[in-house]
Structure 1
């Protein structure tokens, strides 16, 4: 008893700001539990300016491979109870600046949560919110009927609680089929405050065309992954700053850009198939001149990009950071120097080589096609220099001869290169599951690293070189 009082006295010496900072770093479920630690904590959850309520925090076994429907329903019941408590106007002294809500699309609970959020918005208690609709099903396991039903449920939810829709600043959807609904109206015409939109396996059917023409939109970040669009035409998104497009189905360039004057960061990530045609970045990015950060990820498969130099100079006029990832370890990497010629403004270059145990030899899935190393003839002027490049990061470094040659060629073209970071590759979960030991070729020992430094500098260069496992 004395020990409990002593602990309570020590907690009592902390200010509300410090205690709220602690609570802001834990889940809402954990924050609610802290009220029993001490009378000093009792009122604190209702003082948090931001609330984050995630249904997965209420699962009995959140790390299970297969979450049962009954477990999801119980978790949603607990989430609903927690939401009701934390949005209680009688308990709260101050308004909530933002609510981050992750939940399952279970209609009866969704209705109650929608009512609670709608009332909080209408009363002025809640200013803005972001919503993530989760789904435990894999995309390939969803039938067209299930995808379309989920779209109907989403539409019904926002129709019933329009305040929730109008208040959304961030929305993330998974496994939604808008075949029978106006996807543009639901996501862009109605969400007036939306700034961040993420779509995972959401579309209007296989190989459909999606045009986004939203001159009044406030959208700044758009993430599209594993959607089955033939092409996405960004006709008008004046506030868009960052666009991520991952794993498309089209065999040609998956995008066209119209009026996107604020676009500065672009991520293109896709494993190609044998029928996919090469496309030109200069054509895809026609009219886009403000890109400062570009990531190209080939995910260890055949390269789908046609190298260019002069054609990209206007497009890359402001490019500062370039990441070229997922280059299969046996492929040539010298072609990436073409970017240094095209973009004289690059300050940071990131190269990532791909070699996964789960993806080579007998472990490679049968549905994957054979990789083809493109035979590109590059005519790069040997005296072309990039005066602004200051840092080179090489992930998946293995002390291969072609890698040393590549790094030295970068040094020759970059007189102001000051820092080289060499990183080991990251093993994925599938690699770990194979439990097949593979000797690492990354230099870990001091004498190995000293040899690498000597070979890179070659008595001619003097960059700082760092090793990270």
Structure 2
């Protein structure tokens, strides 16, 4: 042993002893932030750690932690998924069946691929853990790396059948599910409502991505006894979603709906609904609708997000009709507004919702969908033309205005000053740069130069906003990431 090694060895032991002196609850908190694969490896560090993985009250098992190497080719991807699922199954079997476990698992977060291994082994393993009282709540995500455009209708039908077979083989799984995420499944020949709402009595969070009951179908949810709190519908081919009865629903997200003569969603009895997010680009085939018509039946919306994805608005101009739907609105986020649009029309929302406390705006400035890079699916962009009849009312509760994609353009200065004029208690204005976009970054920088104020320009911009009259705090932040 060299002198350097001898001198460093006591320090290593001291560091290990410091870690070992931590209490079980602190060490479990650390292990709870990693996946099962890493947590299980810690048991070989020392006798102090050996029992800890089997004490975790909340466990994360993610098949991606078991993937050996990155894969790009479809055939290789399929093989890697199978191998990863074999490894995941061995780890899960050891973890759930091991006699060392001394306490129940309050929540299991399980992400997996739908392979034969899942159908034959994972389902029964989880089902036995539920039946024995070892597992209380299950958060299940069935992954699919296939591009939805590469899946035929027959593929989606087959995938839905495999999901149904999985649940039929392990009925206890349905009874224990609190969160479920599905992708690329067509339930045309199956009763999806029965599975999701009659069988999943404990389900609180449901995410469906590229799922449907047939193209241009109506998905009607009438579940008076459901505990569902969050419903996330992403790019599903429903002509319309009818939420007839979901008494516990608190948050609803709807992204990219089909072209239809009707509003994409209708609400019946949803007394707890407080958060609503609607995101879609207006294609040639989508007709604008009145937001008040869509919100009819809601009584408690406090947080509303509208995302137009840089395209024309899919909303018809209105003000008076929105007052009833907006009477409890506290936070409004309007995203994906094309950078060349005059955004003064936004004040119509403030007139309709005098109770707003936070207004967040995201301007869309992407070189990757302008000019030659733009597809033919969308109409030419046109500035919204809304007739606005202001009655002189003020927004005395508005305290924060945030603008993402800010540029020193006169139309944005005009908008901000108009907000200041009718919001005497506005205390903070946050100006953010453009959101990050890999496709834009891949283009020549000269195609999309940033016009966010430089450091030495910030005070000048702030003075233009204040105009010698107003005095809000103004914060500049060029580096940020889009979270909506």
User: Is 1:169 the equivalent of 2:203?
Assistant: no
Counterpart CA distance in 2 for 1:402 and 1:63 is: 47
Shift of 1:108: 2.8
Match of 1:105 in 2: 114
Counterpart CA distance in 2 for 1:64 and 1:458 is: 55
Which of 19, 32, 53 is residue 45 of structure 1 equivalent to?
53
Counterpart CA distance in 1 for 2:306 and 2:409 is: 22
Counterpart CA distance in 2 for 1:453 and 1:10 is: 51
Counterpart CA distance in 1 for 2:109 and 2:226 is: 21
* Of 424-433 and 407-416, the range deviating more from structure 2: 424-433
Shift of 1:5: 4.5
Counterpart CA distance in 1 for 2:410 and 2:263 is: 34
User: Is 1:240 the equivalent of 2:249?
Assistant: yes
Match of 1:263 in 2: 273
Shift of 1:428: 1.2
3-state secondary structure, aligned to 1:462: coil
Match of 2:169 in 1: 160
Q: 5+ unaligned residues in a row in structure 2: which ranges?
A: 1-5, 479-484
Shift of 1:308: 1.8
Counterpart CA distance in 2 for 1:139 and 1:353 is: 28
User: Is 1:137 the equivalent of 2:172?
Assistant: no
Alignment RMSD: 1.6
Number of residue pairs the alignment of both structures matches: 467
3-state secondary structure, aligned to 2:244: strand
Q: CA separation of 1:200/1:106 partners in 2, compared to 1, >3 Å: closer, same or farther?
A: same
Contact preservation (8 Å) 1:207, 1:230: yes
Match of 1:287 in 2: 297
Match of 1:10 in 2: 18
Counterpart CA distance in 2 for 1:467 and 1:63 is: 40
Contact preservation (8 Å) 1:77, 1:109: no
Counterpart CA distance in 2 for 1:21 and 1:65 is: 38
Q: 5+ unaligned residues in a row in structure 1: which ranges?
A: none
Counterpart CA distance in 1 for 2:308 and 2:302 is: 20
Q: CA separation of 1:422/1:127 partners in 2, compared to 1, >3 Å: closer, same or farther?
A: same
Match of 2:330 in 1: 320
Q: TM-score, normalised by structure 2?
A: 0.93
Q: CA separation of 1:115/1:14 partners in 2, compared to 1, >3 Å: closer, same or farther?
A: same
Contact preservation (8 Å) 2:354, 2:395: yes
Counterpart CA distance in 1 for 2:377 and 2:296 is: 34
Match of 1:298 in 2: 308
> Deviating runs (4+, > 4 A) in structure 1?
1-7, 62-67
Counterpart CA distance in 1 for 2:163 and 2:360 is: 40
Shift of 1:24: 1.1
Contact preservation (8 Å) 2:71, 2:77: no
* Of 341-350 and 39-48, the range deviating more from structure 2: 39-48
Which of 345, 358, 380 is residue 368 of structure 2 equivalent to?
358
Q: CA separation of 1:65/1:460 partners in 2, compared to 1, >3 Å: closer, same or farther?
A: farther
User: Is 1:21 the equivalent of 2:46?
Assistant: no
Q: TM-score, normalised by structure 1?
A: 0.96
Counterpart CA distance in 1 for 2:138 and 2:72 is: 28
Q: Structure 2 matches for 1:41-120, cutoff 5 A? A: 41-62=49-70, 68-120=77-129
CA shift digits 1:74-107 (9 cap, x unpaired): 1111111111122124110111100000000112
Which of 454, 459, 472 is residue 444 of structure 1 equivalent to?
454
Counterpart CA distance in 2 for 1:182 and 1:191 is: 13
CA shift digits 1:364-406 (9 cap, x unpaired): 234444223333332223x221111010001100010000000
3-state secondary structure, aligned to 1:169: strand
Which of 221, 225, 230 is residue 216 of structure 1 equivalent to?
225
* Of 238-247 and 250-259, the range deviating more from structure 2: 250-259
Contact preservation (8 Å) 2:234, 2:256: yes
Contact preservation (8 Å) 1:279, 1:306: yes
User: Is 1:123 the equivalent of 2:125?
Assistant: no
Counterpart CA distance in 2 for 1:403 and 1:310 is: 25
User: Is 1:341 the equivalent of 2:351?
Assistant: yes
Match of 1:207 in 2: 216
Shift of 1:434: 2.7
Match of 1:372 in 2: 382
Contact preservation (8 Å) 1:356, 1:427: no
Counterpart CA distance in 1 for 2:344 and 2:161 is: 50
Contact preservation (8 Å) 2:119, 2:165: no
Contact preservation (8 Å) 1:348, 1:391: yes
Shift of 1:427: 2.4
Counterpart CA distance in 1 for 2:73 and 2:329 is: 42
Counterpart CA distance in 1 for 2:386 and 2:264 is: 23
